[in-house]
Chains A and B, each alone.
Chain A
């Protein structure tokens, strides 16, 4: 202490107490220090005084001092050395609790100095006779690896850990497995090559941990399967995670694993159940025996349903995962729709998810009950949920042809409530129904038009305008209706402007005599008074088409659009496979590969990572893009297969995009993704979806983006056009722009839309 600390204030008082001769006074002071730390006060100044209290028989006091050390060792690296002696002594204490506590604490102090003293006590503790100490030490290896990987290699800790998998105690096995998995992950996160900065001394190559730190061989597998049934719930999760990574040698082994894991479905801990589901989903792929497959799917359903009665948060995780599982195996819960009925007091996030699953499970048999439910939900208070319920009605209509009529009548009932947001959502949904069943329910159009004044949201407006345009020949006062929108043309949002424009052109093509004037007006307005390039472009194209070749205009604007359908999966098949291998993880909750939301750099290495990788990343990305464009063989910069490259480069942008979507191996995703997608906009979109992650449900919206469906409006004819139009920000959506969707939804919408847009383009040529 260079400066004498002030002789007053709380810290001074505490210091007095910490040095008090009375034991309980000291104990009390330590507690106060911890309390101060918790509320964010800096107590680092008391370091030497607290450390003095380390040597004590009172285990509770010792724990508190250790807790203090954990928090402040980093700020006082010089003084930590004061504590080393006691630590080392404690690791040899006769009391196993003390030994474990000491080794546990010592390994998280994060001070270079202390690490050197840690090695020998740690190797001793790894071989301790007491399993409690061993299991604690096992995790310490992972902690040390985090700080100084070389040390682990030098002392052979990793080999010791591997030996611990054969330990007689299941907890030790579980922790060893957990530690190894952690080390493995950390090792992968380490930069593949030593940092180029010259000043840094990189570890010798021999000391570099290789990536096969934790390979599981059949004997290990047997040990794990034995330990699985004996260890604590958390241990089971660790073991199940490891089993999920194991590549079975043959079918028999896969069957064996499935059979041994199956009983875990009955565990009370949801994480164990989901972990077991994960393992089964992975190893089931290799199983061909029919009876086993059947029994697996049969036994999987009840535990999944049971998870629905867990606390809401767990329920939500389960629901998200069930949603994923249903995309792969819709049959498992076919008869269980009722359990997914929303309770009035469910939290909103649970309700929304249940809704989605109900639509998935909808079939001809249960559709009546479902529609009754959905109608009920539509009268609830939560606007967001109500809208989703209405939307679900539309999805059911599109999914089940036989029920379409009933769905429409439910929607009409809902429109009659005249609740603004219900009506608007219903209109949007009805537009999709018209897309799927053209010319079927024209009778309801008057009712829709009667609600014109209720609509104030762009999407609803645009939908109604689209409907009017589509059925202009059947609606007598179509020109009047569209005229009202034309009057406010300048104030409307771009999607509405686009729709108004298209609808009026449609009207003109259908009834050329009456609507000459109005089409003139709209083209004028769109080309002169509009500041959106999309709207202007479209208007110019129409204008030219109409003036040069009305017949061509007709075949373009009034062409038949491909029917829409409700996709069974909301993520690309390859990603689905990947996600099913990660059931219960965050990735499976978000329905996104982990790499999209997890920074690649981890732990202390993060900063270093960033420095090393970022410039490189930019370069490599550009390089990859260039190579792809040039059609050259890409350098094997990043670790994806080189043969992949030419294919994606040779086919059009659409194909390439499909490729990057369906490529399962998004291991170092951001990079490889960027490199694979030939479209820079695509890359941009990726960035979007990473930046703004929210758990909003990406639902299988009927591809609203193709609704406008006016072909030939793309700014240019190159095959990228359909993509660029769709992946650009919503406001600028080319032909697709009816529904402004959050960026993360675009991913799949884009996929759906690509097909439609492509068709349209073909129609043009």
Chain B
């Protein structure tokens, strides 16, 4: 149970404070300010002082803090804080000091609804938007009078969906987004390669549709004795997690994914796969330190996916020693620039075709330093997004929609593989 909720700015000023239980005083916020915000060396997201525990998440320039005095579920508190962040984002796009100040009334209203006496309640954004409204959302759905309907939905077995949804055109969009995690050693051995996948769905379907979703999941295909399973067409999912609308019991018994989707956008499932990962980029590095004042780089990048596909926004961050004074870089494709603040050479390639190769050669000049400490060589980071490519090889096989009225629906599927700081190569 959460006893209090605060939002602080970076100076430690309280932007939002809400006490749910009487075991705390408002002045507890000072303790957090002193112990966490003005403490330069905080090494844990949970601080316990006496019997009071502070859970904090730092986001943009604010601290979102939950306080409890009991042996609360730590996972629950953090999940709640993150949920709050998600909800705030969906209401006012970005959670930072300014937006908190501008929307404090709304935040209090939201808090009142999503947490009661320290127990998180309904946190479904879609449902919340039905009765907690801002100017912009109000016009969108002016349904305030049928609040009994709202409340039924907010507590019902399908709290995520209104029953009276109507669309002229029934459509469903499925986005498969994979984040590729790679850790490659100096020697080019793959230490870790796996994929965190996310299947986002935007459902614009009328009525209460029953959906069935099929992937090229190896286990499912094998069970059906499909030939495909033996060839390379199937992917092995290490683990899946589903939106609460998915019937978990059914997945547990026969691995079928069936659900009644919320209206609009939601994350249907998350999965993880570690076997047979197709790495979209290969990197060959040759970095030498010919003298004490110089480092030479030759970085060879190869896109190893299908030539018909394109990678967008490929960004390589190549670390340089801390005492670098200047860098001369030459690239065949894209632009390379030394960013002194981060001690990296940033090589940006807006668009790269599959099977294409390119090279960066650079020379970093180092300032002479008195004490010589070996340069720790942080890994090179590659960020990218490749459309219509899944590193795990996952494919959506079908999405079936059943509804009483028996309408036809149109489904769209998109694939995207990306990396955002998670694709690291040591050199």
The chain B residue with its CB closest to the CB of A96 is: B151
Q: Is A419 an interface residue (CB 8 A)?
A: yes
Residue of B119, B155, B267, B376 with most partner-chain A CB within 10 A: B155
B278 within 8 A of A: no
4 shortest interchain CB distances as A-B pairs = A132-B151, A302-B239, A594-B71, A599-B51
Partner of B104 from A38, A95, A110, A586 at Cβ < 8 Å: A38
From A369, which residue of chain B is reached at the shortest CB distance? B191
Give me 12 A-to-B residue pairs in the complex whose CB atoms sit less than 8 angstroms apart, sorted by A's number: A31-B105, A60-B109, A96-B147, A133-B151, A241-B73, A263-B252, A306-B270, A318-B75, A417-B374, A586-B73, A602-B69, A603-B21
B421 touches A345 (CB 8 A): yes
Given known A-B contacts A132-B155, A306-B272, A314 and B108 have beta carbons under 8 A apart: no
Instruction: Report if A139-B119 is in contact (Cβ < 8 Å); known contacts: A40-B14, A130-B151.
Output: yes
B406 near A: Cβ within 8 Å? no
B196 on the A face (CB < 8 A): yes
Q: What 1/0 flags go to A316-357 for Cβ under 8 Å of B?
A: 111000000000000000000011010111001100000000
- For B149, give the chain A residue with the smallest CB separation: A96
Known contacts A60-B109, A598-B69, A372 near B119 by CB under 8 Å:
no
Q: Contacts A266-B240, A582-B71, A598-B51 given; 12 further ones with Cβ under 8 A?
A: A38-B14, A38-B16, A97-B151, A232-B121, A232-B124, A233-B244, A237-B76, A267-B244, A344-B379, A348-B43, A349-B44, A599-B69
Name the residue on B nearest A241 (C-beta): B73
Which residues in chain B, 113-128, are within 8 Å of chain A measured between CB atoms?
A: 116-117, 119-124
**Chain A residue at smallest Cβ distance from B73:** A584
For the complex, is B413 an interface residue (Cβ under 8 Å from A)?
no
Cβ-based interface call for A104 (8 A): yes
Q: What's the Cα separation between A348 and B55 when bound, in Å?
A: 16
Q: In whole angstroms, what is the CA distance A38 to B14 when docked?
A: 7
Which of A97, A270, A313 meets B150, CB within 8 Å?
Answer: A97
Query: What chain B residues lie within 8 Å of A597 (beta carbons)?
Result: 48, 51, 53
Q: Is A229 on the interface with B (CB-CB < 8 A)?
A: yes
Q: Counting CB contacts under 8 A, is A44 at the interface?
A: no
Q: Which of B17, B151, B156, B185 contacts A372 (CB 8 A)?
A: B185
Q: Which residues of B contact A348 (CB under 8 A)?
A: 43
Known contacts A108-B117, A131-B152, A341-B183; is A584 also within 8 Å of B248 by CB? no
Q: B270 and A268: CB pair below 8 A?
A: yes
Within 8 A of B (CB), among A336-388: 338-339, 341, 343-345, 348-349, 369, 372-373, 376, 379-381, 384
Which residues of B from 145 to 166 have beta carbons under 8 Å from A?
147-148, 150-152, 154-157, 159
B interface vs A, CB < 8 Å? 1, 13-17, 21-23, 26, 43-51, 53, 55, 57, 68-76, 78-82, 104-105, 108-109, 112, 116-117, 119-124, 131, 144, 147-148, 150-152, 154-157, 159, 179, 181, 183, 185, 191-192, 194, 196, 238-244, 246-249, 251-252, 267, 269-270, 272, 274, 373-374, 376-379, 381, 421-422, 424, 426
Interface size classification for chain A: 35 or more
| Cross-chain pair count, CB within 8 angstroms | 269
Which of the segments A167-175, A489-497, A723-731 contacts the partner chain? A167-175
A604 contacts the other chain (CB 8 A): yes
Chain B residues, CB < 8 A from A316: 44-45
Pairwise interchain contact B148-A603, C-beta atoms closer than 8 A: no
User: What residues of A have a CB within 8 angstroms of the CB of B196 in the complex?
Assistant: 309
B51 to nearest A CB, angstroms? Answer: 4
Q: How far is the CA of A142 from the CA of B192 in the complex (A)?
A: 48
Q: Say yes or no: A586 contacts B23, CB within 8 Å.
A: no
User: Which of B70, B151, B422 is within 8 Å of A598, CB to CB?
Assistant: B70
Q: How far is the CA of A32 from the CA of B141 in the complex (A)?
A: 27
Interface string of A157-200 (1 = CB under 8 A from B): 00000000000011110010010001001000000000000000
Bound complex: CA A480 to CA B141 (Å): 87
Main secondary structure of the interface of B (DSSP, over half): mixed
| Contact (A262, B23) CB under 8 Å given A139-B117, A309-B196 | no
Please state if A603 and B43 are interface contacts (CB–CB under 8 Å). no
Q: Per-position contact with B for A531-548: 1 when CB-CB < 8 Å, else 0?
A: 000000000000000000
**Which of B191, B240, B243 is A373 in contact with, Cβ under 8 Å?**
B191
A267 in contact with B242 (CB, 8 Å): yes
B43 with A349: CB separation less than 8 A? yes
Residue of B nearest to A129 (CB): B148
CB of A83 closer than 8 Å to a CB of B: no
Task: Find the residue from A142, A381, A586 having the highest chain B CB count within 10 A.
Answer: A586
Q: Which residues of A contact B239 (CB under 8 A)?
A: 266, 302-303, 305-306
A694 within 8 A of B: yes
Q: How far is the CB of A145 from chain B (nearest CB, A)?
A: 11
| A344-B378 contact, Cβ under 8 Å, with A96-B147, A131-B152, A306-B272 | yes
The minimal Cβ–Cβ distance linking B99 to chain A, given in whole angstroms, is 15
Closest to B120 in A: A234
**Shortest distance from the beta carbon of B326 to any chain A beta carbon, whole Å:** 22
Nearest chain A CB to B322's CB is how many angstroms away? 9
Q: Please provide the chain A residues from 20 to 70 with a CB less than 8 Å away from any CB of chain B in the complex.
A: 31, 34-35, 38-40, 59-60, 63-64, 67
User: Contact between A695 and B105 (Cβ–Cβ < 8 Å)?
Assistant: no
Whether B45 pairs with A587 at a CB distance below 8 angstroms is no
Contact in complex: B152, A132 (CB < 8 Å): yes
Specify which of B14, B72, B249 is in contact with A586 (CB 8 Å cutoff): B72
| Chain A residues, CB < 8 A from B46 | 586, 589, 695
Contacting residue for A274 out of B43, B73, B274, B426, CB 8 A: B73
Please, which residue of chain B has its CB at the minimum distance from the CB of A142? B117
**Judging by beta carbons under 8 Å apart, are B74 and A268 in contact?**
no
Whether a CB of chain B sits under 8 angstroms from the CB of A135 is yes
Given known contacts A182-B1, A306-B241, A603-B23, A343 and B422 CB-to-CB distance under 8 angstroms: yes
Q: Indicate which residue in B53, B238, B244 contacts A305 across the interface (CB closer than 8 Å).
A: B238
Closest to B268 in A: A268
Please determine whether A232 and B122 come into contact, CB atoms closer than 8 angstroms: yes
Determine if A264 is an interface residue (Cβ-Cβ < 8 Å).
yes
Interchain nearest-CB distance for A578 vs B (Å): 11
